[in-house]
Amino acid sequence: MSVRIPVIENILNANDRLAHENRQKLDMAGIFSINLMASPGAGKTSLIELTLRHFAEHYRIAVIDGDIASSIDADRAAAAGAIAVQVNTGGECHMDAVMLQNALETLDLAEIDLLIVENVGNLICPASFQLGTHRSVLIASIPEGDDKPYKYPPMYRGVEALVLNKIDLLPYIKFDLDYFRRGVEALNPGLVTFPLSCTTQDGLDAWLEWVRGGVELARHG
7-43 pLDDT tens trace: 455 667 888 999 999 999 999 999 999 999 999 999 9
Residue spans of the chain under pLDDT 50: 1-3, 5, 7
> Residue 173, SS3?
coil
Distance (Å) of CA 107 to CA 32, 64, 83, 132, 196: 15, 10, 9, 16, 31
State how far the Cα of 7 lies from the Cα of 49, in Å rounded to an integer. 39
Whole-number percent of the chain with pLDDT over 70: 91
State how far the Cα of 103 lies from the Cα of 67, in Å rounded to an integer. 13
Per-residue pLDDT at 120: 92
State how far the Cα of 87 lies from the Cα of 103, in Å rounded to an integer. 7
Pairing of strands 83-88, 161-165: unpaired
**How far apart, in Å, do the first and last CA atoms of the chain sit?**
46
Question: What domains appear along the chain, each with residue ranges and CATH number?
Answer: 4-220 (3.40.50.300)
State how far the Cα of 35 lies from the Cα of 100, in Å rounded to an integer. 10
Average pLDDT of the chain? 91
Per-residue pLDDT at 14: 87
Per-residue pLDDT at 168: 98
Pairing of strands 135-141, 161-165: parallel
State how far the Cα of 22 lies from the Cα of 115, in Å rounded to an integer. 12
